[in-house]
């Protein structure tokens, strides 16, 4: 196990900068997830860590040793890929032990490590099978086993669950998290799935266009997003955004009412003159219970998910067009209990606690509170 220090790493392909001054300190035994939309630079950073891509600049230290210019095999790391990369003609036992064999590890030691990894991953009964005889989840366990037997200083995982179906992904998320708690190896995990990031990570690194947007634990990301992008990326369904205007003092005007906020009047006026004020409220913090700030809507769509309902409605004069995603185009969303009496097109009184509002500056997207 080892700490990892990434210092001002950047990567360019000609005039195209895909990674811009990436710096991150990862503690020994920490599970860190890099997450962001396609093309944000997360997989490029992982390849640079692994030595599969050279950096255009910066340094990488693993366990205090500078590995920036070392070949992949000299970095003492193990990678797990999304396509498993198993040898079809080898048994599970031979696939797991293949890397050790290539390094000249004695046969008895290979058997010991393979048997231990198989026990940890509950694949002992599969050791004599070949990859074509395995399910997707079993193949992923074998790929994990091949990484475990290396006993590396760090694991690098590149979207290892993306080829699995939804139910199996949930199961494997839990298995990988439990495995990390058991063996405690420093892990950097790349995904485009924010649910994976939030449920597995000690800390999450959110990226966009090659730039780190925020580094924090999952709870902090959810409760205190640093900017509009982070706020929109984290949460399912995503945060609702409304165009707001300053009212008297430390308040904004929403739904025809003055709503008190924890941002002073001068800062609100400054934001208003610099691209406007954007108010954010998460769907789960809108209710039919009354109290707080109340407003009337007519649901345009109601989706039933069994235990709850997603209620879509129009933002009217508060429509915010600064985001371009599918959920924003559907309108605002309330996440309500399934028992709530609802009907499309009929008036519905909703409310939210003003203390739950997130405020952002329209032009920069930076959080105001």
pLDDT tens across 224-277, in order? Answer: 999 999 999 999 888 999 999 999 899 999 988 999 999 999 999 999 998 899
Domain C-terminal end among 181, 209, 225: 225
List the end-to-end C-alpha distance of the chain, in Å, as a whole number.
Answer: 38
Considering the domain architecture, whether residues 49 and 195 belong to the same structural domain is answered as yes
Confidence of residue 41 (pLDDT cuts 50, 70, 90): very high
Strand partners, 228: none
Average pLDDT for 21-48: 95
* Position 368 in a domain: no
Give residue 26's pLDDT: 97
Supply the CATH number for residue 127's domain.
Answer: 3.40.50.300
pLDDT digits (tens, 9 = 90+) for 102-117: 889 999 999 999 999 9
* Position 369 in a domain: no
Taking the C-alpha atoms of residue 337 and residue 290, their distance in angstroms, rounded to an integer, is: 14
**How does the average pLDDT of the chain come out, rounded?**
91
Q: How many domains does the chain have?
A: 2
- pLDDT at position 36 over 90: yes
Considering the domain architecture, whether residues 12 and 48 belong to the same structural domain is answered as yes
* Position 366 in a domain: no
Residue (of 260, 264, 262) closest to 293 by Cα position = 260
Considering the domain architecture, whether residues 163 and 54 belong to the same structural domain is answered as yes
Considering the domain architecture, whether residues 76 and 215 belong to the same structural domain is answered as yes
The token pair that represents 37 in the structure block:
């939309």
Considering the domain architecture, whether residues 167 and 239 belong to the same structural domain is answered as no
Confidence of residue 353 (pLDDT cuts 50, 70, 90): very high
Q: How far is CA 316 from the centre of its chain?
A: 31
Considering the domain architecture, whether residues 210 and 283 belong to the same structural domain is answered as no
- State phi, psi for 90 to the nearest 5 degrees: -100, 150
Average pLDDT for 41-62: 95
Considering the domain architecture, whether residues 220 and 233 belong to the same structural domain is answered as no
**74 burial via Cβ count (<10 Å: 0-12, 13-18, 19+):** exposed
pTM, two decimals, is 0.89
Residue length, the chain?
369
Domain C-terminal end among 209, 225, 241: 225
Considering the domain architecture, whether residues 109 and 52 belong to the same structural domain is answered as yes
Return the H-helix or E-strand segment holding 223: helix 218-223
* Position 133 in a domain: yes
* Position 315 in a domain: yes
Confidence of residue 327 (pLDDT cuts 50, 70, 90): very low
Domain C-terminal end among 225, 251, 268: 225
* Position 367 in a domain: no
Confidence of residue 323 (pLDDT cuts 50, 70, 90): low
Considering the domain architecture, whether residues 271 and 251 belong to the same structural domain is answered as yes
* Position 196 in a domain: yes
The boundaries of the domain holding residue 162 are: 4-225
Considering the domain architecture, whether residues 22 and 157 belong to the same structural domain is answered as yes
Considering the domain architecture, whether residues 129 and 256 belong to the same structural domain is answered as no
Supply the CATH number for residue 291's domain.
Answer: 2.40.50.140
pLDDT digits (tens, 9 = 90+) for 113-168: 999 999 888 899 999 999 999 988 899 889 889 988 988 999 999 988 888 888 88
What is the 3-class SS of 133-152, one letter each residue? HCCHHHHHHHHHHHHHHCCC
Residue 239 gets which letter from DSSP? P
Considering the domain architecture, whether residues 220 and 260 belong to the same structural domain is answered as no
- pLDDT at position 328 over 50: no
Share of the chain above pLDDT 70, in %: 97
- pLDDT at position 91 over 50: yes
Taking the C-alpha atoms of residue 147 and residue 155, their distance in angstroms, rounded to an integer, is: 7
Share of the chain above pLDDT 90, in %: 67
Give residue 161's pLDDT: 86
pLDDT digits (tens, 9 = 90+) for 190-204: 999 999 999 999 999
Nearest 5°: the CA angle 99, 101, 107 is 135
Q: Which residue has the higher pLDDT, 106 or 320?
A: 106
* Position 344 in a domain: yes
- pLDDT at position 48 over 90: yes
């Amino acid at each position: 196990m080892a700490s990892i220090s990434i210092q001002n790493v950047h990567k360019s392909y000609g005039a195209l900068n895909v990674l811009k001054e990436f710096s991150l300190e990862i503690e020994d035994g920490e599970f860190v997830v890099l997450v962001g939309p396609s093309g944000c630079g997360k997989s490029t950073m992982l390849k640079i860590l692994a030595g599969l891509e050279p950096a255009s600049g910066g340094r990488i230290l693993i366990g205090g040793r500078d590995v920036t210019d070392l070949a992949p095999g000299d970095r003492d790391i193990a990678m797990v890929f999304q396509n498993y990369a198993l040898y079809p003609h080898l048994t599970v036992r031979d696939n797991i032990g293949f890397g050790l064999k290539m390094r000249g590890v004695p046969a008895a030691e290979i058997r010991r490590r393979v048997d231990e990894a198989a026990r940890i991953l509950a694949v002992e009964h599969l050791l004599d099978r070949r990859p074509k005889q395995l399910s997707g989840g079993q193949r992923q366990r074998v790929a994990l086993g091949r990484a475990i037997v290396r006993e590396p200083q760090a694991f690098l995982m590149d979207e290892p669950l993306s080829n699995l179906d939804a139910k199996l992904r949930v199961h494997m998320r839990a298995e990988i998290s439990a495995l990390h708690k058991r063996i405690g190896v420093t892990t950097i995990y790349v995904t485009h799935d924010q649910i994976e990031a939030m449920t597995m990570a000690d800390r999450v690194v959110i990226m966009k266009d090659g730039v780190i947007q925020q580094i924090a634990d999952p709870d902090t990301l959810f409760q205190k997003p640093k900017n509009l992008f982070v706020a929109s990326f984290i949460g399912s369904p995503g945060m609702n955004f409304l165009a707001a205007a300053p009212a008297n003092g430390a308040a904004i005007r929403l739904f025809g009412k003055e709503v008190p906020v924890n941002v002073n009047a001068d800062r609100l006026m400054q934001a208003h003159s610099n691209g406007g004020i954007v108010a954010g409220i998460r769907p789960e913090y809108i209710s039919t219970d009354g109290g707080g700030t109340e407003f009337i809507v007519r649901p345009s769509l109601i989706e039933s998910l069994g235990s709850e309902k997603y209620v879509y409605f129009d933002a009217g004069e508060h429509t915010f067009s600064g985001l371009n995603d599918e959920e924003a185009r559907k309108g605002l969303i309330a996440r309500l209990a399934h028992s709530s009496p609802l009907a499309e097109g009929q008036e519905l009184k909703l409310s939210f606690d003003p203390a739950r509002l997130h405020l952002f500056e329209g032009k920069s997207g930076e959080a105001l509170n």
